[in-house]
Amino acid sequence: MEDKYLKKLHVSFDNGTELSGVDAFIYVWKNTKGYNWLGKLISVPPIKQIAKICYAIIAQLLFWRFKLFVK
């Protein structure tokens, strides 16, 4: 498995396109019963930018931890 798939959440579609990171989470939340509101909230531009920064930091820390403990 490529590291890029370990670093971020990915959503792949049948037509070959994919979403990753915060955009993938937004897609999942908007299409999950009970979480549609969260997808809409995170889609608001200022909130989305903050979410992308937080996601980048947290994802990098989790990836580093995974690489440290899994060999």
1-58: per-residue pLDDT in tens? Answer: 567 767 888 999 999 999 999 999 999 999 999 999 999 999 999 999 999 999 999 9
Q: What is the pLDDT of residue 1?
A: 53
Nearest to 19 by CA among 45, 46, 39, 47: 39
Grouping H, G, I as helix, E, B as strand and the rest as coil, residue 2 is coil
Greatest distance between any 2 Cα atoms in the chain: 39
Break the chain into its structural domains and give their ranges. 19-69
